[in-house]
């Protein structure tokens, strides 16, 4: 195996024996093979689209499979093998509908399951010899994975975009080319960012269309005395259906990690048995799931495969793009019917209530509409000097000790600064007592990682309010923590909006070659982080 798609990659260079995330070599290779098949499907479907007859099943298969290969979503050998078989079948059918001249191996190869392992070893990241081409191809691939995740969540709410599907497939086709050069790939990277903005805007429209605009909300972080189901990941449709099916059953629903912002939506917070948020960011789940006592549902990343002796091992349910051997899989919706959560609800009823690990509340709900409603107050606070600077500290959390930097940085920011956040990065500082400025909390949580879109909208609104011609003249510093590939699409989206001087930590991506890093530094002023002391001086200057 060779995988270097996330921030925790082994030795900061690449996982080669087993993933730090727990992904075994065989599964990593199968994911590479799935992506190879997906690229072949994209070639056929692009031709069909040109002919005006794109295959919808292929659109869905492509974004779903990209999502499956995102860090910490799917660890199941069986599930990914089945997906490859389904992909090969789909590819055969598409091949009957359209001819492709000079078809790449991605189109031509059609092996049996016995041949998967051998083929998989030849189609991964290292298939590309040139390190800069490889770096840019993977950068685009990872951006597409993030975009696919957002397309899937929006799709679950009935929002689809032919433009996004066309772009994703166009980009995948470009990635099959062995003659593509650095300049073309840089152009493709920027285009990926532009379409990332569209995908995030679409998901924002889907979420707010279905559940209303997030509003300032207090979320309980303690527990009640009923059995509970803990729901993790990012899919709000799954949560809504679970809430509907648990209503009146005596089972409470708690959110975990990236599901926390569900509490900010009027149409989700109205459920009285949406009891609170349990625990912290994804990487703490091994200890926190023990004491939850009830079943846990993963609707997307981040899963940490449990230890063999974990008490909660038989309480894990997965759905959507998730996969974990030994976990109970809840099938997709069919014929417009909701998913069937009866098994997990019955399971919860047999369990003890959760044991509390915290108490009190946290506040969030500062997505773009809510912040816009407060715009006058915010602008006034900036003009009067009460707010000196905003720090966008969105992104991901992770288990590396070096991420203590973000807690320390937040703690030591002066009292006239405000943190704008989104994603699970917030768990590094959202329970600190950082106070408020004239009633504006010093940590404004816009939501999940995909709601980073809100932060961009807020920046554009502030630019307008201050009559500036350049988004980079706002008093905003970007100090972003990344981990997986959704952070990659967020980064590319911000670059496409013209945001410069983004600081990325705790380490720069291993998949950026020295030359590609140089381009990002020269063209966009991207930089890493250093010590809290140094960065505070530098960023406040």
Nearer to ligand SF3, 120 or 139 (CB): 139
CB of 47 to ligand SF3, least distance (A): 34
**54 in Cβ contact with 98 (< 8 Å):** no
Q: How far apart are CA 442 and CA 431, in angstroms?
A: 12
Under rule CB under 6 A, which residues in 69-108 are in contact with ligand SF3? 72
Q: Please tell me whether residue 141 binds ligand SF4 under the rule CB under 6 A.
A: no
Ligand-binding annotation for 396, yes or no, is yes
Q: Please tell me whether residue 423 binds ligand SF3 under the rule CB under 6 A.
A: yes
Q: Please tell me whether residue 19 binds ligand SF4 under the rule CB under 6 A.
A: yes
Q: How far apart are CA 139 and CA 133, in angstroms?
A: 10
Q: How far apart are CA 234 and CA 109, in angstroms?
A: 35
H/E element, 298: strand 296-298
Which of ligand SF4, ligand SF3, none is residue 24 near (CB under 5 to 8 Å by kind)?
none
**Binder to ligand SF3 among 107, 274, 424, 494 (CB under 6 A)?**
424
Which of ligand SF3, ligand SF4, none is residue 23 near (CB under 5 to 8 Å by kind)?
ligand SF4
Under rule CB under 6 A, which residues in 389-448 are in contact with ligand SF4? none
Nearest by Cα to 147 from 257, 64, 233, 54: 64
Ligand-binding annotation for 424, yes or no, is yes
CB of 7 to ligand SF3, least distance (A): 9
Under rule CB under 6 A, which residues in 299-358 are in contact with ligand SF4? none
Judging by beta carbons within 10 Å of its beta carbon (0-12, 13-18, 19+), is residue 289 exposed, middle or buried?
buried
Nearest by Cα to 482 from 429, 408, 534, 424: 424
Tally of CB atoms within 10 A around 324? 22
Q: In this structure, what token pair is assigned to residue 266?
A: 């009027």
Binding mask 71-110 for ligand SF4 (x = CB under 6 A): x---------------------------------------
Q: What is the dihedral of CA 283, 284, 286, 291, to 10 degrees?
A: -150
Omega prior to 339 cis, within 30 of 0: no
Nearer to ligand SF4, 3 or 316 (CB): 3
Q: Please tell me whether residue 298 binds ligand SF3 under the rule CB under 6 A.
A: no
**Binder to ligand SF3 among 302, 413, 458, 489 (CB under 6 A)?**
302
Q: What residues contact 86, with CB distance under 8 A and at least 6 apart?
A: 61
**442 in Cβ contact with 436 (< 8 Å):** yes
Span near ligand SF4 by CB under 6 A; candidates 13-21, 139-147, 250-258, 376-384:
13-21
Q: Please tell me whether residue 304 binds ligand SF3 under the rule CB under 6 A.
A: no
Which of ligand SF3, ligand SF4, none is residue 147 near (CB under 5 to 8 Å by kind)?
none
Pairing mode, strands 436-437 and 361-364: unpaired
Ligand-binding annotation for 6, yes or no, is yes
What residues make contact with ligand SF3 under the rule CB under 6 A? 72, 257-258, 282, 301-302, 396, 423-424, 448-449, 483-484, 486-487
């Amino acid at each position: 195996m060779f995988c270097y798609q996330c921030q925790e990659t082994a030795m900061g260079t690449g996982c080669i024996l087993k993933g730090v995330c727990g992904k075994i070599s065989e599964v990593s290779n199968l994911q590479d093979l799935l992506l190879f098949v997906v690229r072949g499907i994209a070639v056929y479907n692009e031709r069909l689209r040109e002919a005006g007859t794109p295959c919808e099943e292929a659109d869905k298969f492509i974004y779903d499979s990209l999502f499956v290969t995102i860090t910490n979503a799917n660890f199941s050998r069986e599930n990914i093998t089945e997906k490859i078989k389904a992909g090969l079948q789909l590819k055969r059918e598409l091949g009957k509908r359209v001819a492709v001249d000079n078809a790449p191996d991605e189109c031509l190869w059609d092996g049996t399951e016995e041949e998967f392992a051998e083929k998989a070893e030849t189609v991964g990241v290292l298939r590309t010899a040139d390190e800069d081409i490889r770096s840019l191809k993977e950068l685009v691939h990872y951006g597409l994975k993030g975009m696919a995740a957002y397309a899937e969540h929006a799709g679950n709410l009935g929002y689809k975009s032919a433009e996004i599907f066309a772009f994703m497939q166009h980009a995948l086709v470009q990635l099959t080319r062995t003659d593509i050069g650095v300049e073309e790939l840089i152009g493709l990277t920027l285009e990926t960012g532009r379409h990332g903005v569209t995908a995030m805007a679409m998901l924002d429209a889907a979420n707010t269309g279905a559940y209303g605009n997030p509003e300032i909300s207090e979320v309980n972080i303690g527990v009640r005395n009923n059995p509970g189901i803990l729901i993790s990941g990012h899919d709000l449709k799954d949560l809504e259906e679970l809430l509907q099916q648990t209503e009146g059953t005596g089972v409470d629903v708690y959110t975990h990690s990236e599901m926390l912002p569900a509490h900010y939506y009027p149409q989700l917070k109205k459920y009285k048995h949406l009891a609170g948020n349990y625990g912290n960011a994804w990487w703490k789940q091994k200890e926190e799931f023990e004491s939850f006592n009830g079943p846990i549902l993963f609707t997307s990343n981040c899963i940490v495969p449990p230890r063999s002796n974990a008490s909660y091992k038989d309480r894990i349910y997965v759905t959507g793009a998730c996969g974990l051997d030994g976990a109970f899989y809840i099938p997709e919706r069919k014929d417009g019917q909701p998913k069937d959560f009866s098994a997990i609800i019955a399971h919860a009823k047999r369990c003890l209530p959760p044991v509390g690990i915290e108490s009190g509340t946290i506040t969030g709900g500062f997505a773009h509409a809510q912040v816009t409603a407060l715009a006058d107050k915010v602008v006034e606070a900036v003009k009067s000097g009460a707010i000196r600077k905003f720090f966008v500290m969105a992104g991901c959390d992770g288990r590396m000790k070096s991420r203590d930097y973000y807690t320390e940085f937040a703690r030591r920011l002066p009292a006239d600064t405000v943190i704008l956040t989104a994603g699970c990065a917030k768990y590094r500082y959202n329970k600190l007592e950082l106070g408020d400025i004239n009633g504006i909390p010093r940590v404004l949580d816009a939501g999940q990682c995909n709601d980073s879109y809100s932060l961009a909208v807020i920046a554009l609104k502030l630019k307008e309010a201050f009559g500036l011609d350049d988004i980079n003249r706002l008093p905003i510093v970007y100090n972003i923590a990344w981990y997986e590939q959704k952070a990659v699409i967020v980064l590319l989206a911000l670059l496409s909006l013209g945001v410069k001087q983004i600081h990325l930590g705790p380490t720069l991506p291993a998949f950026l070659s020295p030359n590609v890093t140089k381009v990002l530094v020269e063209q966009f002023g991207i930089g890493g982080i250093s010590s809290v002391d140094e960065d505070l001086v530098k960023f406040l200057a």
